[in-house]
Amino acid sequence: MTMRTLLAAAALLAGLALLPSAAARAGDISCSMTFQLSGWSVFYKTATGSGTVTCSNGQSMHVKLRAKGGGLTFGKTRIDHGIGKFTGVDSIADIKGHYANAEAHAGAEQSADAQVVTKGSVSLALSGRGKGWNLGIAFGAFIIE
């Protein structure tokens, strides 16, 4: 799999997450997250980080982030200026928990990452750029605490 193919897959995943969700309801609030995340992978992937969630109703919350999973993945990365967009949120409390994820990532020196994670009716599209070297596709859990 080439880097171009992986970056195209990452862009597709991020784009799909931005489409209106069937689970979205009229009373939903808009929430976004800025974050940083770093980790490594050799078939097994692990990462930790932190972020801040801000919602359209004025609520905000600092969060701890963890990611774990596996697949055809190798590397070490650091995302410094990540952005996430939530859909299907009624309250900021809805954002905490374990999300299922699928991820495509590729990079050498400059790294790009895109993920779509879901937890029930809540979805989160994550994207970011950073440093490191990585290549692969992984599946697992993205945890917001």
Nearest to 132 by CA among 54, 36, 44, 58: 36
Q: How far apart are the first and last CA of the chain?
A: 34
pTM for the model stands at: 0.75
- Give the tens place of pLDDT for each residue, 55-113: 999 999 999 999 898 888 888 888 888 999 999 999 999 999 999 987 776 667 776 66
Show Cβ contacts of residue 89 under 8 Å, excluding neighbours closer than 6 positions. 28, 29, 30, 31, 55, 95, 122
Q: What percent of the chain is predicted at pLDDT more than 90?
A: 41
Sheet with 29-55, edge to edge strand ranges: 29-55, 60-89, 122-144, 97-119
